[in-house]
């Protein structure tokens, strides 16, 4: 019986740990593009259609500022200089996707308890009512894009899925995920 209880506890722990989200990094680039001549960059802002008003400001300028600061820091550490759009070798921009999701927490494994079964009373491991609680988690995905200045075509993209799990990550957390995704720029 103890062996069965141990196996059940290990299986539950594996299931719980396996369901936890982890940060995932993806990098893709145009394999025909030469990144060797790049020494400067500029921030690229998507243009509004002429018949539309300016897009609204970002919902969380503190978070977007942290991301931009982290990208500037990483590109600067790689020796790239920020310049005006007309003088830069490549353009950089990013997208941020915040998605709220519901998370259920349930504690229900219990110590051995008595039960009535065939042949009388006995002891075993089973499910006791437990407790269920509901919470929310914010899943943040950051996409960093690099465009060639001359063609304005995408030449490199780095994506960080599940970059953070709360709506206000720290400067250090943002810096770490940006550093890791930009480790793949320029491609080798």
> What does the pLDDT look like over 152-161, one tens digit per residue?
999 999 999 9
The per-residue b/e assignment along 106-131, b for 16 or more CB within 10 angstroms, e otherwise, is: eeeeeeeeeeeeeeeeeeebeeeeee
SS3 state at 147? strand
* Confidence band of 101 (pLDDT split at 50, 70, 90): confident
pLDDT at 162: 87
Which residue is associated with the tokens 């960059």? 41
**Better-scored residue on pLDDT, 103 or 17:** 103
CATH class of 22-182: alpha beta
Domain chopping of the chain, boundaries: 22-182
Q: Across-strand partners of 76?
A: none
pLDDT at 15: 40
CA–CA distances in Å: residue 2 to residues 7, 107, 117, 144, 152: 9, 20, 19, 51, 65
* Confidence band of 18 (pLDDT split at 50, 70, 90): very low
Give all strands (DSSP E) within the chain, no chain letters. 24-29, 40-43, 81-82, 90-109, 113-117, 120-124, 127-148, 154-164
| Residue 126 · residue 110 · CB < 8 Å | yes
Q: What is the rounded distance in angstroms from the CA atom of residue 182 to the CA atom of residue 188?
A: 12
């Amino acid at each position: 019986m103890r062996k069965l209880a141990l196996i059940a506890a290990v299986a539950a722990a594996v299931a719980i740990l396996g369901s936890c989200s982890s940060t995932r990094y993806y990098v893709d680039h145009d394999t025909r593009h030469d990144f060797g001549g790049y020494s400067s960059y500029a921030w690229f802002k998507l243009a509004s259609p002429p018949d539309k008003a300016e897009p609204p400001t970002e919902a969380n300028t503190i978070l977007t500022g942290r991301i931009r600061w982290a990208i500037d820091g990483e590109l600067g550490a790689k020796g790239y200089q920020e310049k005006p759009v007309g003088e830069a070798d490549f353009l950089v921009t990013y997208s941020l996707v915040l998605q709220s999701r519901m998370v259920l927490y349930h504690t229900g494994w219990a110590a051995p308890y008595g039960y009535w079964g065939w042949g009388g009373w006995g002891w075993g491991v089973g499910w006791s009512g437990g407790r269920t609680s509901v919470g929310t988690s914010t899943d943040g995905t950051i996409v960093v894009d690099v465009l060639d200045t001359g063609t304005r075509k995408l030449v490199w993209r780095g994506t960080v899925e599940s970059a953070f799990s709360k709506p206000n990550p720290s400067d250090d957390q943002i810096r770490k995920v940006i550093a890791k995704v930009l480790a793949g720029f320029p491609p080798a």
